[in-house]
Structures are given as C-alpha cells and as structure tokens.
Structure 1
Amino acid sequence: MLNSLRSIVQEVNAARDMKSALVIIVTRVKQAMKTQVCSVYLRDAQGDYVLMATDGLNASAVGQVRLAAGEGLVGRVVVREEPINLEHAEAHPSYQYFPETGEERYSSFLGVPIIHHRKVLGVLVVQQIEQRRFDEGEEAFLVTMSAQLAGVIAHAEATGVVVAPGEKATQAKFAGVSGAPGVAVGQAVIISPLADLRSVPYQACKDVDEELAFFHRSLAAVREDIKSLGSQLKSRINREEQALFDAYLAMLDDASLGGEVSERIRKGAVAAYAWSEVILEHESIFNSMSDPYLRERAADLRDLGRRVLAYLQESNQKTRIYPDKTVLIGEELTASMLGEVPKEKLVGLVSVLGSSNSHVAILARAMDIPTVMGAVDLPFTQLEGRQVIVDGYKGNVYSDPSDNLLKQYEAIELEEQAIVKGLEALKDLPCETLDHYRLPLFVNTGLMADVVRSLERGAEGVGLYRTEVPFLLRDRFPSEEEQRAIYREQLGAFAPHMVTMRTLDIGGDKALPYFPIEEDNPFLGWRGIRVTLDHPEIFLSQIRAMIKASEGLDNLRILLPMITNVHEVDASKALIHRVYSELVEEGYSVKVPQIGAMVEVPAAVYQARELSKKVDFLSVGSNDLTQYLLAVDRNNVQVAGLYQAYHPAVLQALQHVVDAGHAEQVSVSICGELAGDPGAAILLMAMGYDVLSMSATNLPKVKSVIRNITLVQAKELLAEVMQMAYAEQIQARVNRALREAGVTRLMRTAVTDEAS
C-alpha cells in the first residue's frame, strides 16, 4: 500500500492538467484497493459537490451528478468532515440513488473528505458489490491518499480549472504575498530563463510549415553537438557509457520524441512549447517507474530536453515588443529582467517564487511598482498576453477578470493617483496632530532611487538603510572603499538629517549568491548580527566604511540587527569603538556614531530595558517581531492568514518595548511595515514611539492621518483596543477611527469582490 501511495502521488503531481490527474486518481486507487469503483466528487463554484471522475460508474454521469453539502452519502461526508464506511450503503438514511450512475449494484461504500486549509474540497469514494465493511488498513490508505491529494486539487481549484464539464472557466484568483503595495491592471508578459523546460510560455504558431522546418533544423544542430561530444569523450568513457549518446540520438528521431513534437506543432503550438510539453510528460513517466535504473533515465531525458530547448529559444529569439501596460510575470524574477522592460511601460510584477524581502521586491518598492511574490499556484506559462490584475496590497493576482472586477480595480487606480496628487501638498507641512503633537516621519531606504522619492515626499531622516542591498547587487563582497562611496551618497543626500544604517543583515531569506547559507530552518539560524560577529572582518570593514563616510556630516547612526542578548551588543560596541579609535589615529576627523539595537525577536522584547542601558536608541522591526511572536513565516502563503500585525500580543509587545526604552531615557523608533499603515500609525503614536520609519510611498498617507487626529483621540483609541482579544476586532475599530477622522480614502488595502 505504501508503494502504491508513493507511486500514485508521484503520477498525480506530474500530471499536466486536472482532468488527467483525476483519471490517474480513480484508476490507480481502484487498482491499489482492488475495488470495483473509485470516484472523485469536487466542490464547484456554487458550493455543490459534482462527480468529476469515476472508474466503475457510468462515464456519462460525470458532470451530471451534483449534491449539496449534507445531501446523500457524499454530502454527509462533507458535513461530518470524516470518513463514512458502510457495508449496506443503500440501508443508510442518507443514501440517495442516482440512476444515471448505475451504482445500484454496489453495497459497500467508503467515502473520505478531501480537506485543504480547513475546507472540504471534495470526497474520494470507493465502492464494491460485496457486502462488507472496508477494513482499517483500507480506510487508512484512502484517508492518507486524500490528504496527499488535497494540495494538488487545491492548486487546480486556484487556477480555475475545476469546473464541471461544459462550463466555461472565468476569472481566476491566485494568492501570493505582497511585494510592493498598489494595484495594476495590464497585459501579462511571461519572462523565463533559457532552457528551463517548466517555464516555457504557451504561444500559438503562426506558420506551421515554417515552425516545423525550424524545429528540425534545431534537432539537426543538437544531433551534431551530441555526435561531437561523443567523439571527444570516446577515449575517456567505456562502451556502456557511450551507449547513452546513441540513445540520445535515437530519441531525436521522428519515430520517437521528434514525431510527437511535430504532431503538436501541427495542432498549433510553437516548437519550444510543444517540445517542453512532450519532454515533461515523458519525464513524469520515467519518474513513476518502480525500476531505479529506469527512474534515473529521467535525468538523461531532462538533459536532452534542455539541449534542444536552448536551440529553440536562442534561434527563435526576437526583439520582444512590450505592451503599454506590461505586467511582467516569471517563475523567479531578477533585477536584470526588470531592466529589459521600458520603465514607462512596466505597471506590475508577479513572481511565482520569492518573498517580500527578495531583491526584486525591494527594487519594486523603490520603483513604486505594485508587486506580488510567492504566487506558487499561478499557471504562469498559460498567461502570455492575457489581461491580469495585480493587487499588491493583499498579494493577489487575477487572470481574465470579469468586467465588474475590472471596473473596481480601474477605479482604485484612478483613486490612488488622485490621492497621491492630493497628498503632494503635505510635503512641506509638519507631521503634527490637531492638538500640536509633533511626530517625526523617517523613511526606509536601500537604493539611491529611494532617496529622491523620499526627499520629494518630505522625509525627515532615514530610520533604516538596508546596507545588504549593495551586497545583493554584486557577485562579491564590496570593498571598503566601494561601501564608503555608497554610504557617503546616502548620508550626503539626507544631511543634516539623521541616517540610520543597519549593519549587514543576511541570512533567513536573504542569502548572498557568493556567501550561501544553507540551513534547515534559516529564520532561526545564522542571520543578522550572528553572521557578522562570527566574521568580524566583514563587520569591521563595513563599520570603517560607515564612519569614514560620515566625516564632516556627523549624521550617522548604526543599527545592530537580530539582537537576542546583551553580549551581542557588548561585542558589537567593542568592535565599533575599536574602529573609531583606529580612524582617529589615521587622521580622520570623525565622531562616535549613535549605536542602536533592533528589537525583532521576543528575547529582545523582554530584555528591552537591559538593552536600553547599553545603546543610544532602540528600533523595532515589526515584520520579524510579528513573525517570531506568532510563529508564522510571513512569506509562506499557507499560513499568511495567521500573520496579523494587529494581533493583541504584538500590540502588547510593542507597548512594552517603548515603555522599557523610555524608562532608560533612550528614544524608540519603529521601522517595520506597521509604521507605514495609516491606522497602525495612530496606535504607535499613542504608545509613545518617537519616530515612525516607512517606505516613501506610505509617508504622505501617514502624515495625512496624523494631521487629522488629536493625540488625545489616539490615546483613547489605544486604551480601547488594548482591551480587545481579537485582531479582527482591533482592525475594525481602527478602521472606524479612520472614518471618523475623515480619511477613509487612505484605508485602501484591497478591493472586495466576488472572487475574494
């Protein structure tokens, strides 16, 4: 049974579409359990459970049999959310007979729910003529099978493929994580690295004869390459290994892979897509084989596939014409890919892989481009040229949107443009409440592009300069002089305002390509200050560059990331003072910069007072602090709904930190995403935070909110929400406060629509 389970799951995962996956499920489960019937019922858009595949019942019943939750035995499995195992199914009070299925012959019934993220997606059923109860082993096998298949079916449901036969797939919604705020409506342009078999976008072939000729020319070129390679290695490999090259050549024949691809080209697909589709199908067949030797041949097939695909893509490379509203989509977007699109045409970004801290997401925020990262369910190869919506607030992507949804998002686009224009007048006005309480607003930066936008929007300083960004942009560690020049540019642009430079913060999901950190649990691993204290040569070089860059400006503050104990602060300060002394001896006219500690792990929250005795300021990183307090990976789509910045525990921790810092007379700032949330900014001000630091995009919005409320009102709101036990309750109350302050135009976080 275990071998059958592995084999079935492997085959289903390799299936190219939902229909073929369902056929594999019912056929293989029926074989494995030696039953007469296996069927799958799936939930449709109306919430009914429809017979979508069967091996044993009448095939004509597929798509015709429909049950509501609670209706029939299948509906009862849905309501109970647990298996139903019967030896006389027809005697059960919930039994409902559907003559079109021909199931009257079958007495034994075992149905198990297919559950994903607490929702019943469907029911997996086996039936048998013999009157008997399925034993514990059989029931356990089917339960395990449904649990394994739930993710695959959920993926298909997300892509809008799960519809009853004959129905037309309409708009589909895909969940990811927010990379950069904003919304964009545009045309999908798929970009992928060369020779990546799984990333080839579907395109229709314009001239079949020309495409076939091009395909065969590419095959001929690969044949020559393989023959040449075989000749070069002839003296260095044995006869058995030489046979591999002969096998490659045989697979390229028209009677083998070449013939299958030619047939698909004749049906209308371009050569590159047809080739990748055939190779991936054959690879899945090899992977599902029980013989280890044959399974290993899948690697040979992939190698051959990439060789041919490289020719098909390079030879057919044409100057791409980008539409006026380009939404760039790829499996893993890179900075160089962004650079290929004319700036005025790029309106949105979607990356299947990556997180909100990925380099591309940081660039997107700097460029003010709405972005969604980690959209793992997105069938991106099928979206070329189709209309899509990018919701960078909620991290959602919609393909083929309905007219109604399109109008809603287009209205949001216009509204945002109007808001930005209206807020421009606030640039030179102070961030001050109606009762004259002054709250400085700083910005988070990482690129020089951030600087211009920050100054244009009235930033009063930099609360977080991410020094890892220049490191990410290189293929080696930047030299001390290269760092000094970069830091000087930042410090000079904001002088005389303060610039807070965080020391190198790598690890977690921010790995340098030339300094890889591979760990089973990177967020609890070697990151932040832990890395730089273990490598003092990196830390000392960076501190020297920072302090040298501040000469004559004296507006530098140094921030230490991922602090978990007082010893780390002591060790860091010792190195910083050592560098300062050396620079003074070398003749530099510099001052000792202020030194601060980041509070982003629970340990630092509860040692905030002890840390405050050692540093000049504290800065809360609310993104990581929320993640660690709630034990929720904020870049994981599966648990994204549990990441709640308004969680009562998060608010209590934030209040504790500011109280501890002020008890020791040190200033306390916050530089996480929460600071840029207009509603949260009211609560943070009431808590007593001395500085809020955010992206330049959010600065005018936060300033507008602060200027429309009194400190007294903010403190009353804080006192009220601190008594609440639910994050949703707190969020609703804060939203009401924004409405009462007359700033509802700033509450936009996403559109509410039928797909949400």
Structure 2
Amino acid sequence: MKQSSGKERGDRLSQLRRIVQEVNSARDLHSVLDIIVEQVRDALKTEVCSIYLLNPDNNRHQLMATKGLNRDCLGKVSLGIGEGLVGRVALREEAVNIEDAESHPSFQPVPGLGEEQYSSFLGVPVIHHRKVLGVLVVQQQECRRFDEADEAFLVTMSAQLSGVIAHAEATGAIDGVDSAMRSTTFKGSSGALGVAIGRAVVLSKQLDLKSIPRRATEDVKGEVRAFGKALAMVRRDIKQMKRNVQNQLRTEELALFDVYLSMLDDHALGGEVIEKIRQGQWAQWALAKTIREHARTFDLMDDPYLRERAVDIKDLGRRVLSYLRTVDVPSQRYPSNTILVGEELTASMLAEVPEDKLLGLVSVQGSSNSHVAIMARALGIPIVMGVFDLPHTQLDGCELVIDGYSGLVLANPSEQIRRDYELVVEEEELVTRGLEVLKNVPCETICGHRTPLLVNTGLETEIHRALEHGAEGIGLYRTEVSFLLHDRFPSEREQVDIYRRQLEAFKGRPVTMRTLDIGGDKALPYFPIEEENPFLGWRGIRVTLDHPEIFLAQVRAMMKASVGLNNMRILLPMISSVGELDESLLLIRRAHRELSDEGVECRMPPIGVMIEVPAAVYQVDALAKRVDFLSVGSNDLTQYLLAVDRNNARVSSVYNAYHPAVLQALAIVAKAANKAGKPVSICGEMAGDPAAAVLLIAMGYNVLSMSSSNLLRVKSVLRSMRLDQAQQLLAEVQQMETSQETEACLDRALQLMGVSRLLRPNTDAKQDVL
C-alpha cells in the first residue's frame, strides 16, 4: 500500500486548512456544502465528491451537494440508515472503503444519479456530539482502494467540518432559510428545572467581534451618529500614535497609520458599516459583520504578509467597538418575557435584568453545577447550560422555549409546540399553588421525624422568596455574591450592613454565613485569579488564609452584624486539612478578641466546616472534634470524587450525585458527625432534590438547605413517608453499583408513594413532536 511522503502530508495539511478557512467564510449551508465537495474532490484528485445530510423529518440521508454526479438529483435522492453504501456508513458510524462498489452486497444504484460508472467508493460519517449528521463520499472510475492517506484526509475533514455543518444548519433554520426546519431544537443540559416561553435577549462579551448579536434598530440615525463618534475617536487615537513614533520609524513604516485611517473612510470599511446600519441593523453588529468579512478575505490569501493583515483589521474593529460601546447608543431593553442568552452568563448579567422580567436563561458554555446555574435555581427560573451548537448571536428577539427538565432550547417554536409547553407551565403553576398550604407546617415524616429545611441565599432579592416558602433559616449564605456585585472589595462597614439585613430578615432563626469562597468558577473582576486548573487551585479558604486581612475584615463584619441577634454561624469552605482549620480558628478567635478590645459585645458564634473534598471525608473525625457543626457541599464533593469539572458541559453526563461513591462518602460523613454528637447539614444541590432528600434523612442528616424554589417540593415528599421507609430505601440503593439503577429505584418508590409529580412534569410527549 502506498505511503504518503512528508511533502504530501504537508500539502494535505495546507489543503485542509484552506478548505476550513473557505468554509468558515461561507454565507450559508448551501455554500458550505458546495465548497466542501469541490475542494475535497480537487484535493484528493478524484472524480466525484458528494455530501448526504440526515433529514430528521424522515430519518433518511438526502443528497445535498455533489461534484461529479447528476446535480438534478440534489434534494431528491435519499437513503435510509443502513440502505445502500451511504446508509451502511451511517449505520456503522465508521469509514467504508471499497475498490469495486458495484460488487458489494450493499450497493444500491439510484436511477439517474450516474454513479454506476464509478467503481471506487470511500465514505466517512460526519459526526457531531455522537450524532451522525451525514456522510461525505468520494468516488472514482478506476477500480482501486483509496489509500490510507486519502482515508485519513477524509476522516480529518469530516471531523473538522462537523461543527461547521451543524452550525450552518442551525443558523439557516433560525433565519427561516428552510421553512420546514424553522422550529429548531438545541440540546444542552438542565441547569434549573422549569419551562419558560419568551423572547431572547442576547448579551455579548466585551470586545469580542464574534459574539456581537444581530439586532434590528428603529433609530438608524442614532446608530449612524454613534458609529460616527466612535470613528472620530479612533481616528484621533491613530493620529496620536503616529505622532508618538514618528521619530522612531521610517517614512514607509509610518505610512501604515495612514492606511489604517483610509480603511475607516466612507469609501472603505466605514461606508460598508453605515450601509448595513441603514438596512436596519444596530451599529455594533454592522461593524462586527464588516470586520469579519474583510478579515476572512485576508485569511484566505496565499501570501503570508497579506494574511497577517487580517490581524490588523480585527484590531482596528475592536478599537472602534470599544468606543462604540461607550458613546450614546440606545440602552439595553428587556421585554416583559426576557430569556437571557449568552456565551457565558455571569451573576452580574443576571443582576442587570429587572427580576419581574426575567423568565429564563440559556448559556452556551457551563454546566448545571456552575455558579450561575445555582443562582438561577435560587431565583426559581429555568436555565439550560452547555448548548454548544446554539448560534446565539442569531437569536436576539427570537421566540424561545426553554425546557429546563430535558435541557432543550427551541427556537421559533411551532404553534403546536408552544401550546404543549404552555400546558406544562400551567401544570407547574398548579403544583406550586397546591404546595402553598405546606408553607407554615413543619417538615416531618408521618412518624414524626423532624428535619428543618433551610435555604441557600446570596442575593438580597432571595430573602422575600425564601420567607414566602416557609424557610426555617439560612443554611448557606454565599457572601461572595455581594463581593461579585462590587467593583472593589466591600469595606468592613459595607459588609456589616449587608450581613445585618440577612440576619434581621431571619431573626430568631439560624443564618449560616460562609466565608469568602472565590476561585474556581467565581472570579472577582477586581481580583483575577488566572490558573490552568482553577478548581484544583487557589480557591476558598486557601485564598483567605493567604490574605488574612480579607478574612479578618469579613469575620469582624459578620460578628458586628450579629450583635443583639445572635443567630449567625460561620462556615469555612474548601477545608482539606486539620492545619487549615486550626489556622482559620485562630484568626476567628483573634477577630473576636479585637472586637472585645474595641468594646463591641458579641458572642463567639458557632463555627462549622464544609466537607467538600475527599480529604475532608477521610479526616471527618478529626475535623468534627474542632468545630460545632459540619455541612456537606455536595456539588464540589461530587466533582472531586468523580474527577469531573462541574462547569464542563462536555463531561456533564459523568457528573452524577447518585454515583455509589458519592452516596458512600455522604453516609461516612453523616455517621461520623452523629458519632461525635455534632449536627450535620447538607447545602449542595442534592438537598433540594426530593428523591435525594429521602436518602439524606435516612443517612442521618439533621438539616437540609436548598434553593427556596425546591423547599415545598422536598417538604411534601418527606411528609408523605415514614423514616423507616426511607431507611429501607437507602439500604436498597446502597447495594446498587450504578447511578442509573439508583435513580430508577427512587423513581419507582416515589411513584408508589404518589409524589412523583413533584419531581418533574412529563415533557417527553412534547419532545416527540420536535
């Protein structure tokens, strides 16, 4: 078999790069496919290249592009999975390389297509996120087997282009290019349960030309005026830069600044941007679109010097964009049914939207256990995370349905789909109203076993919601949220005011305040922590022990805020050793002495430690001796036990709190706490899962703390059973070896108790019509 030389491999690599660049610059799906078949045929020096794409309506692979076969058959020829050689490739999900296609038992000639004359056949599947999107095929008259280099090139090309094709298909569907696909579904992971129907408002990253959403404008003159102001500022900067270096550069080098200025003229980039604005688009998108188009042109040039000019164009575009964001442009408007969409949503983005207008969230990045998802659950709004294929910049103003139960986002839903999901929303409201009668009754089993239900909070707006749902206290107050909403470290005085409001709202009830827990997915904009592996890096107690001035100021503020109320408890996060705990306790005692010396009379609050890393699980006996209570953070504990980054949507399916190892660790902690006579709570998301709550009380957890939106559901389930039933169920699942077995067992048990409706409504039927 022929082996490819180093030169041939280099040529193939260059061809691959060029094809990908051309595809990325294509305007629509049809252009993408035409580029692929023409360029791949030329690169492999073969006679036919074709692309078949899966039509989800009939589950058949349809001929969408070809170079070499009869183009009159485009859109008319289709093959089912397993049908013909194309269907065989799709079924096997691997390459099929045959030197004499006609002699193969799977060969199925299509009348009029014209492939009978071609003997050699090489087909590879186009796979994106484990889903076969289509089949890429090359054919040749000569009866020979394509060599390894050809096959490797086609497989590599398929892998490179799968995401591009998925994106092009989705974008075309959203734009209504293909009316049959106008209602488009994207799959992510559930971040917070619930269903929302509303209008997308897309937020973009600062100075990222690729993330600017397409948005119509009614104030064309205002947008043109704003763009003109931004151009004037950039022209001023460029002229100043030229003056700064005019004595250091040669005349020909200085001429580059004049080139930049000329690019901004009305007859160049500036004029193109204004033309797009006059077509009804806002200035930021018009600028980003124009810059991307010109940068792609340079990217495709063979000359290395000219290719580098793409960098200059992008830099110029970012400079204009930075000023465009500051000049007088219309402020962001939020409709009454806002669904916030972004590449990576943050807590500050949520805070910008009026609470009464925010119905749901969609984030391209992140997973169900990221900080923003936890906040969404606290606010009682659904969120879908990790929707990789979502062309979010195209969605601004689109009607969306987000299904937080199944992790689905539906753009431009049909009337039938909308009606079906409206029924789900009505069902949710009925369940919620039915649970309101439990607000003021205790959470106790049929046999009288009492389990206080507390809430996790961070935003002040959550206080009212928590009290409305009958919370018996705060099991976790995330102090870092108030730090995230400031543009600097809040002063001790400011912290006292913030903490006092939480303590007063729950006067007579316990409020557990976690010391500053930053790092991981919670970075302060004014105190950046840049690390390759942040979840195993400088975070939680590690940061505050390294900065005792921050820790002492916060602990002092907590103690001052509790004067006269005495309902505050302090919780230490990310403890991984006895040494860290001892050092923290010394600082807390020091803060208490300092306040006493200042004449501030406050009692020493109870101190607890979070059990959220495996090391703490195995040292729980030693830790329990030193503190007043224990609290498990099941989110991080699950992450570290399973070696899964809980923010990484690519491995979100591996993250599962019902994993036997997680359940064993939780049981170990509860047993050790009860043996030491110390109360133990759990404040991770497991506590708000009604099914998991059954197992937790059986293990011996004294308190459950959760998002307020889950509180009444958990209470209803626990009040529907006896403690011995929960213990029997725990003994049963502890014999199981997979999380799937455990979940199935819990589902059956809750169905028998008649409370399965409290877990989630049935949206499976709605998915059948997608």
Q: What is the CA–CA distance in structure 2 between the aligned matches of 1:570 and 1:509, rounded to whole Å?
A: 26
Do the aligned partners of 1:110 and 1:125 also contact (CA within 8 Å) in 2? yes
Residue 38 (1) aligns with residue 52 (2): no
DSSP 3-state at the match of 2:200: strand
Q: What is the CA–CA distance in structure 1 between the aligned matches of 2:101 and 2:448, rounded to whole Å?
A: 75
- One of 297, 310, 331 as aligned partner of 1:285: 297
Taking the TM superposition and a 5 Å limit, the aligned residue runs for 1:589-738 are 589-738=601-750
Go from structure 1 to structure 2 and tell me whether the alpha carbon gap of 1:254 and 1:163 turns closer, same or farther (over 3 Å shift).
Answer: closer
Q: Cα offset for 1:227?
A: 4.9
DSSP 3-state at the match of 2:109: coil
Q: Give the corresponding residue for 1:235.
A: 243
Deviates more, 1:582-591 or 1:468-477: 582-591
Q: Give the corresponding residue for 1:102.
A: 114
Cα deviations across residues 172-200 of structure 1 (Å, max 9, x unaligned)?
22234444432211223344478654344
Q: What is the CA–CA distance in structure 2 between the aligned matches of 1:85 and 1:162, rounded to whole Å?
A: 36
Q: Give the corresponding residue for 2:595.
A: 583
Do the aligned partners of 1:37 and 1:56 also contact (CA within 8 Å) in 2? yes
Q: Cα offset for 1:157?
A: 5.4
Cα deviations across residues 463-487 of structure 1 (Å, max 9, x unaligned)?
1111111110111111222222222
Q: What is the CA–CA distance in structure 1 between the aligned matches of 2:410 and 2:115, rounded to whole Å?
A: 40
Counterpart code for 1:369: I
Q: Cα offset for 1:259?
A: 6.6
Go from structure 1 to structure 2 and tell me whether the alpha carbon gap of 1:48 and 1:263 turns closer, same or farther (over 3 Å shift).
Answer: farther
Residue 23 (1) aligns with residue 34 (2): yes
Taking the TM superposition and a 5 Å limit, the aligned residue runs for 1:277-426 are 277-306=289-318, 317-318=329-330, 322-333=334-345, 341-353=353-365, 361=373, 364-426=376-438
Give the % identical residues. 60
Do the aligned partners of 1:159 and 1:377 also contact (CA within 8 Å) in 2? no
- One of 200, 205, 209 as aligned partner of 1:188: 200
Residue 530 (1) aligns with residue 542 (2): yes
Do the aligned partners of 1:434 and 1:708 also contact (CA within 8 Å) in 2? yes
Q: What is the CA–CA distance in structure 1 between the aligned matches of 2:310 and 2:455, rounded to whole Å?
A: 51
Taking the TM superposition and a 5 Å limit, the aligned residue runs for 1:536-555 are 536-555=548-567
Q: Cα offset for 1:364?
A: 4.0
Q: Give the corresponding residue for 1:247.
A: 259
Taking the TM superposition and a 5 Å limit, the aligned residue runs for 1:80-119 are 80-119=92-131
DSSP 3-state at the match of 1:641: coil
TM-score by length of 2: 0.89
Counterpart code for 1:247: V
Do the aligned partners of 1:16 and 1:281 also contact (CA within 8 Å) in 2? no
Q: Give the corresponding residue for 1:473.
A: 485
Give ranges in structure 2 of 5+ residues lacking alignment: 1-11
Deviates more, 1:338-347 or 1:23-32: 338-347
Q: What is the CA–CA distance in structure 2 between the aligned matches of 1:339 and 1:491, rounded to whole Å?
A: 22
Count of equivalent residues: 752
Cα deviations across residues 21-40 of structure 1 (Å, max 9, x unaligned)?
32333233233322222222
Go from structure 1 to structure 2 and tell me whether the alpha carbon gap of 1:741 and 1:315 turns closer, same or farther (over 3 Å shift).
Answer: same
Q: Give the corresponding residue for 2:504.
A: 492
Q: What is the CA–CA distance in structure 2 between the aligned matches of 1:448 and 1:117, rounded to whole Å?
A: 40
Go from structure 1 to structure 2 and tell me whether the alpha carbon gap of 1:396 and 1:509 turns closer, same or farther (over 3 Å shift).
Answer: same
Q: What is the CA–CA distance in structure 2 between the aligned matches of 1:542 and 1:205, rounded to whole Å?
A: 46
Do the aligned partners of 1:505 and 1:529 also contact (CA within 8 Å) in 2? yes
Cα deviations across residues 499-533 of structure 1 (Å, max 9, x unaligned)?
11111111111111111111112112221122222
Do the aligned partners of 1:434 and 1:709 also contact (CA within 8 Å) in 2? yes
Residue 125 (1) aligns with residue 137 (2): yes
Go from structure 1 to structure 2 and tell me whether the alpha carbon gap of 1:129 and 1:253 turns closer, same or farther (over 3 Å shift).
Answer: farther
Q: Cα offset for 1:308?
A: 5.6
Cα deviations across residues 548-577 of structure 1 (Å, max 9, x unaligned)?
322333222222212222222222222222
Do the aligned partners of 2:223 and 2:282 also contact (CA within 8 Å) in 1? no
Give ranges in structure 1 of 5+ residues lacking alignment: none
Do the aligned partners of 1:352 and 1:373 also contact (CA within 8 Å) in 2? yes
Q: Cα offset for 1:730?
A: 2.2
Q: What is the CA–CA distance in structure 1 between the aligned matches of 2:457 and 2:274, rounded to whole Å?
A: 52
Q: What is the CA–CA distance in structure 1 between the aligned matches of 2:718 and 2:224, rounded to whole Å?
A: 67
- One of 3, 11, 20 as aligned partner of 1:9: 20
Q: What is the CA–CA distance in structure 1 between the aligned matches of 2:299 and 2:762, rounded to whole Å?
A: 42
Cα deviations across residues 565-615 of structure 1 (Å, max 9, x unaligned)?
222222222222232233333333233322222122222223323322332
Cα deviations across residues 397-445 of structure 1 (Å, max 9, x unaligned)?
2112233322232122222222222222212111111111111111111
Q: Cα offset for 1:306?
A: 4.5
Do the aligned partners of 2:174 and 2:183 also contact (CA within 8 Å) in 1? no
Q: What is the CA–CA distance in structure 2 between the aligned matches of 1:168 and 1:626, rounded to whole Å?
A: 43
Q: What is the CA–CA distance in structure 1 between the aligned matches of 2:680 and 2:188, rounded to whole Å?
A: 32
Deviates more, 1:91-100 or 1:10-19: 10-19
Do the aligned partners of 1:355 and 1:374 also contact (CA within 8 Å) in 2? yes
Q: What is the CA–CA distance in structure 2 between the aligned matches of 1:215 and 1:747, rounded to whole Å?
A: 48
Q: Cα offset for 1:638?
A: 2.2
Q: Give the corresponding residue for 1:754.
A: 768
Do the aligned partners of 1:70 and 1:78 also contact (CA within 8 Å) in 2? yes
Q: Give the corresponding residue for 2:8.
A: none
Q: Cα offset for 1:726?
A: 3.1
Q: Give the corresponding residue for 1:48.
A: 60
Counterpart code for 1:144: T
DSSP 3-state at the match of 2:182: coil
Go from structure 1 to structure 2 and tell me whether the alpha carbon gap of 1:714 and 1:346 turns closer, same or farther (over 3 Å shift).
Answer: same
Q: What is the CA–CA distance in structure 2 between the aligned matches of 1:543 and 1:336, rounded to whole Å?
A: 25
Go from structure 1 to structure 2 and tell me whether the alpha carbon gap of 1:244 and 1:411 turns closer, same or farther (over 3 Å shift).
Answer: same
TM-score by length of 1: 0.90
Q: What is the CA–CA distance in structure 2 between the aligned matches of 1:163 and 1:139, rounded to whole Å?
A: 35
- One of 425, 433, 437 as aligned partner of 2:445: 433
Do the aligned partners of 1:540 and 1:575 also contact (CA within 8 Å) in 2? yes
- One of 492, 511, 514 as aligned partner of 2:523: 511
Counterpart code for 2:476: L
Counterpart code for 1:675: A
Q: What is the CA–CA distance in structure 2 between the aligned matches of 1:345 and 1:228, rounded to whole Å?
A: 41
